[in-house]
């Protein structure tokens, strides 16, 4: 039986496609990420009188240790105007595959009709 170059090329291409498809199906690529969320979000306060308290968690799934700049602000609405009030800035180091939970309590000393608390992670590296 005599093989020509075309048959050999097709056979090699077929084997390469089979290997490539089986590798892509079995090989998982994990994309690193960070989660930040409010704990017990169903029971967050709907009305704030004096103090607001809440807790949040940062979950480091970045596959390495990370430094996070955590900024907590209150966005307040009063008489059709919006202003942002910084409440807390801190730097936190979280080890790989670990999390950090913080319980916070603040007083908002400005008049407001509505307020939104924002926990943001800035300059994540």
DSSP letter string, 85-121: EEEEEEEEEE-TT-EEEEEEEEE--S--SEEEEEEEE
Q: Is the pLDDT of residue 31 over 90?
A: no
**Two structure tokens written together for 36:** 């930040």
Q: Is the pLDDT of residue 125 over 80?
A: no
pLDDT tens sequence across 6-27: 777 878 888 888 888 777 777 6
pLDDT tens sequence across 67-105: 999 999 988 888 999 999 999 999 999 999 999 999 999
Q: Is the pLDDT of residue 60 over 80?
A: yes
Task: Report residue 29's pLDDT band, with 50, 70 and 90 as the boundaries.
Answer: low
pLDDT tens sequence across 46-55: 777 668 889 9
Largest Cα span, the chain = 92
| Predicted TM-score of the model (pTM) | 0.71
Domains and CATH numbers, the chain: 33-122 (2.60.40.10)
């Amino acid at each position: 039986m005599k093989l020509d170059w075309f048959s050999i090329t097709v056979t090699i291409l077929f084997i390469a496609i089979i290997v490539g498809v089986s590798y892509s199906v079995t090989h998982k690529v994990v994309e690193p990420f960070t989660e930040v969320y409010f704990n017990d979000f169903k029971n967050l306060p709907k009305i704030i009188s004096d103090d607001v308290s809440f807790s949040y968690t940062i979950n480091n799934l970045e596959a390495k240790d990370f430094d996070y700049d955590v900024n907590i602000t209150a966005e307040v609405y009063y008489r059709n105007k919006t202003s942002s009030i910084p409440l807390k800035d801190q730097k936190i180091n979280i080890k790989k595959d670990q999390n950090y939970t913080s319980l916070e309590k603040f007083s908002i000393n400005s008049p407001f009709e509505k307020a939104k608390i924002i926990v943001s992670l800035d300059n994540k590296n």
